[in-house]
Structure 1
Amino acid sequence: MRRVPRWHSAVIASIVLVAAGFLVGSAGLVLAAIVPITVLAYAALSSVSDPEAVLGLERECTPATPLPGERVEVTLTVRNESDRTLPDVRVIDGVPDELEVLEGTARKAVTLRAGEEATLSYVLRPRRGSYAFEETWVRVRSLSATAVATASVAAAGDDALECTVPVDGLPLHRRTIPFVGAVATDSGGPGYEFHSTRDYQQGDPLNRIDWRRYARTGELGTVRYREQEAANVIVVVDGREQARVAAAHGHPDGVTLSAYAGVVTASALASMGHSVGVAALGIAGDIPGVYTGPPAYVEPGMGADVGGRVARVCDAVAARGTSPADDATRAGNGPRGEPRTSPQVHARADGGARAADHLDALFPPNAQLVVCTPVVDDHVVDLALALRRRGYPLSVVSPDVTARDDVGARLASVRRNARLERLRRVDAPVVDWDPSVTLASALEHGFGEVIR
C-alpha cells in the first residue's frame, strides 16, 4: 500500500481558519477549522487491503478452444471476498499481446460491497496458435483516495487460448448454419415433395396410399414423392498469399477468416449428410490422402477419415495466416487503395480459364461449390465465374477485411463491393460477412439455403 498526497486545500483551509481566528479573536473561526482537520485525519487513518487477499478473479473464454478466426467472448468476474465495501476497484485484464480487443473493453472501475461481484466482457478473434493471458492488474483505493494498493493477480479459470483446427475430424458440435440437408432429384420415391402417383402395389405403406383417389374412383393408388439425395459439395478456401490482408493490427487476415468459414461450412454440410470435400487455393498439401496441388484437394466423401483430411487442409490454410497482422498486408495500403502485395495482383489475361480447367479436371461433374474468400483481387472472382460458366453451382462466403475509415480502405471496399456484384449477377448467393458479427448470423441474414 502506498499513500497519495491529497487534500492540499484542506490543509490550507485549516491554517487560514486557525490564523484568522487568533488574529481577530474569533472562537468560531477556530472551531470551523475542525472540519478540514477531521477530513485530514480521516484521510491519514484510512487504509486498503491487499487486492490478492480481498478479491477473487475468474476468467471464462467461450469457446475455450476456438477455431482460427473464430469469435471468442472473454468474461472476467471480479468478486469482493472481504467483509467490507471496496469503494474503488479498478481492473485491467491481461489480454495476450498478439491479440486486439475487437468489442467491449478489458478495463473496468467498480464499487463492490461485501460478497458482491462484477464482470467485464470483451471479444477477441485469434489467429491459429497458442495465446497465454497475462496476470490481471488490480488497483484498490480507499474512499478518500489517499491509500492505494496495486497488484497483479492470476485469474482462475481459462488462462490460455489454444486456437487450431482439430485434425481428427470436423468439429460437428459447432452451431449449425442454414444449409439445406439434401438435394431433390427427378426420380420418385420416399421424400417430402410431391412427385407423382401410380397404381397401388402390394406392400406399399399405408401412409403413402392416395385415399382421395380411392374415395373418388374406388381404386387404390400410391403417392410418390421427390427423392432426396446427398449433394457433392466442395468448399473452396482462398489460401493464397494475396488474401493475407488484415483490417488492422491484431485482427485476423483474410486467409485465417477464409479458413474459419471453410471449416464451419464443411462441418455444417457434413452434419447434414452431404458428401464434402475441400480445395485450398495456393496451398500445396503434404498430407496423406490429399492431392498435393496446389491447390491441396480432398475429393468429396463422408465419414471421419474424409472429415479429418478436410480439417487438416483447412488447418494448413490457417497456418498461412498465423503471422502477425503487421506482416500481412493492410487493406487499402497500395498506391491505388488495393492490397499492397508484391507484385500487385491483377486478373490473369485468360480470365481464370486455365485455373478453372485445372479445377474442372479435379472436381466431380455434379459438384456444388462454396467459395470462401475475402475477394481482395480480381483473379479469384474470374476463377469463380469461369467455374460457374462450366456448370458448377456456387455460393460465396466473403469476410470483409476492408473495415477501416481511411481513404485507402474505403477505396478497397468500393472495389471489393464491385467484385461481389459481379458474382451476384450470375445468381451466385453471396454472404458479405462483417467479422464483427458471428458467421452464423451473417449466413442466416445473407441466405437461408446455400445448397439447392
Structure 2
Amino acid sequence: MWTLKSAMLIDAGVILLLLGLVFHNHQAIVLALTLLSFVIIVGYKTVNVRLDAQRTVSTDKSFEGGIVDVRLRIKNLGRKIEFLEIMDDLPPTMEIVGGSNYLLITLNRGEEFVMKYRFKCHLRGHYSLGPVRLRSRPLFGMFYTEETIDVLSPVTVLPRIEDLSGIVIKAKYPKIFPGALTTRQVGPGTEFYSIREYVRGDELKKVNWKAYARTGRIMVNEYDRENVSDVMIVLDSRETEGVGTVLENPLAHGARAAATLANYFLQRRDSVGVAVYTDTLRIVPIDAGGGRLYRLLDEIAAAEPRGNAPLNGVVDLLLPYVSPNATVILISTLNNDLTVKEALRKVCAHHFDLIILSPSQVDFERNALGLKADDLYRTLKLERSILLSEIRSYGARVIDWTPETSLRRALTGLMA
C-alpha cells in the first residue's frame, strides 16, 4: 500500500512532467521521469512478508485478577525486513502488566524473534488471543504491506471466588442421609455444637475427657447434624443486568457470587447445579463429584448481558431439573420483569428453600453516573424495598445487595 511520501513523489513527478511538456523543458522532463522511475522501482522491490507465528500461554484458565504470561515466536521465512511492526491483539478487558504486545524490529532472513509479555485478567469470559497483525515497510518507507496471521489462543477467565470461611448457610429442607449442609440440630456430624452430661447409651468416643478432669463429671460432646442438600444457583444474565460500568455492574457481581456459592456448597459436599438465563436458558443439572466446580465456573464465565427472558418462563423450564425441597438461590436485580412476583410465588408454592441475592441496580447506575441521592433515587429505592418486602412475605429469604457491601457481609444475614 502507498504511503503519503510515495503519493507526494508521484504527484511531484506528474506535475513536473506536464510542465516540461508544456514549456518544452527537457530538464524538467528528465527529473520527472527520474522521480517516477524511482517510485516504481522501490514499489517493485517491496518485500512480501512471509512469516510464521506461534504463541504459547502459561495457562488457558485463569481467575479474575490472575496473571497470564505469553510468548509469541516470529520467524522470517522470506527476505530481510527492515521495518516490521508486530501487534498481538488482546481483548479490551485484559491489561498489559509486563512487556509489550507491540514491537518494531528488523528481521533478517531465517531469523527468529520471541516477544514476551504478560497481562492481567479483569473480567470473566471466554476469550481468544490474536490474531497477530503485521506491517512491513522497505528502507525508504514509501510503501507498506499488511498481513494477518490467524494464530488464536483460547483463554477462559473464571469469576473470582471469595472467602466464605465461617459463614454457615442453613437449608430449610436437608436430605435425610448424612452429608454436608449444616443444620442447627444435634445429631451425627463433625462440627462441634456443645457438651452435656453423659447418659446411658452414649458412645465412649464422644466423652470429653478434659471436661471430666476439670469437673469430675462425665461429659460428652454434641455435634451439629449434617445433611446433604441439593442446591440450584440461578443467575440472571439479561441485558438489564449490565447496567453500570464494564467491571462494576450487577452481572459482574452476580457472577462472582454464583461462583463463590458454587464453590462453598461443593466444598461441603452438596450437590450443585447452575442455570443462567438471558434470552435463553442454559442449565448444568444438579450433581456432585470431582471436577464439578470447573464445569459450573465455565458456564458462569460465559454469562453476558443480553436478552430479556421473563422469569416466569424460566421457572417453568427449570422446575423439572430441581429436586423436591432443594435450595434455590436466585441472583437477580428483579428489574424490568413483570412476571417476577408470579414466578417467585410459584417457586415457594413448590416448597423450595428460596434465597434471593438481589444486587441493587439503582445503586450501580447511580455510582456509574456519579449522581447524588436525589428524590428520584429515594423513590426508586422505596419501590424496590416494597417489592423485596412483598417477596419476603412469600417465604423467601431476600438479601438487598448494594455495591459497597461485600458478598461475605451480605450473606451473614442467612446465618440467623
Give me the TM-score of the superposition, normalised by structure 1.
0.47
